[in-house]
Structure formats: C-alpha cells, structure tokens
Amino acid sequence: MANYARRVRRVALAEGVQMRAQGHAVAELANLRSARRWLHRDAGHIPSGVRAQVSSAVAQSEALAELVGMREQLRQLWTPSNASSEQLVLDLTAWLRTAEASSTSTLREFAAMLRSVRPAHILL
C-alpha cells in the first residue's frame, strides 16, 4: 500500500503540472496541492477540514478518481474478513485484471509489480 501511495502522489503532482500548463485557476491548483497529501489515505483518516479539497481534487481528475477508487477496493481486499484464502486470491485476481485493463498507466504498472511478487500460478 505504501508503494501505491507513492504512485498516487506522483500522479497528483503530474496532474498539477498539467493543470498549471492548461491555465487552471490558482484556487484549483492550491486545492490539488493541499489534497495531494491525503489522496492515498482511507476516507476515515482524512481530517474533516481537508475532505472537501480531496473530493474536489478527485472530481477534477479522471486518473485520480480511478486511482482513489481502485485503492479503496484494494484496501477492502486487505482488510481482515472471513473470506477463504481461495476467495481472496480470486478477488485479488479480479482486481488485478481491472487494473491491467485501466487507461491509467500507473495502475497497469502497479498491477504488473504486484503480479511479480507472487508466483504466476497463484495470481492467474
């Protein structure tokens, strides 16, 4: 998850550069800059004073929206549950397939890195 967080922060930084080049308002850029620190956190761990900025930043960027949404799905997989090992493997495999089909290169790269961590026969 720490690796994923670094990737989200890099995408947020790139989005800020792109927004600046496109002439977005200073307020939008400041909003993204403030939200960048919190984009990779669980919603419950984001201070209430920053939540609106994070929501606004995610709404301004399809890439960030996809990364934040997929992060939440991945977090739910990591959260202890009563699911069997086989079910967890199936859920993670489905998450990886979705990430690999993403239009966001960061997600595709992360999925490739995750697949390299486990033997191929586990994460089909």
pLDDT tens digit sequence for 78-94: 887 788 888 888 999 99
pLDDT of residue 122: 52
Per-residue pLDDT tens for 20-72? 999 988 888 888 888 888 988 888 889 998 898 899 889 988 999 999 999 99
Cα of 20 vs its chain's centroid, Å:
22
Nearest C-alpha neighbor of 3 from the set 98, 77, 63, 71: 71
DSSP collapsed to 3 states, 30-75: HHHHHHHCCCCCCHHHCCHHHHHHHHHHHHHCHHHHHHHHHHHHHH
pLDDT of residue 28: 87
Give 100's pLDDT tier (boundaries 50, 70, 90).
Answer: very high
